Amino acid sequence: MSKQRKIGICPLCHRKTRLTFHHLIPKKMHRRTHFKKRYSKQKLNDGIAICRQCHDGIHRFYPEMTLARHFDTQDALQADPDLANYFEWVSKQRIRLD
């Protein structure tokens, strides 16, 4: 996906809204030796298009190192009970197009 914001369905809360690009391995971690050794540049730059509310929530729940080590796939994000509850809550919120 292009990193520009576009309208679409958020795969986490299933609302139709503007989407942002979420790096599955946060960019701040890309320069660390642990990640440079274990992941290709393509994998480091992989991400998903999600809504701003889900994106902000992910970063509120977990620090970047935890996201990079444990939540580097969409499935991992959705399998986390705390995040799943948050995405469920977001799904019932009014859509913001800002």
The pTM (predicted TM-score) of the whole model is 0.84
- Output the pLDDT for position 97: 64
16 DSSP β-pair partners: 9
User: Given 3-state DSSP classes, what are the helix, strand and coil percentages for the chain, each rounded to the nearest 5?
Assistant: 50, 15, 35
pLDDT at 1 over 50: no
pLDDT of residue 98: 56
55-95 pLDDT tens trace: 999 999 999 999 998 999 999 999 999 999 999 999 999 88
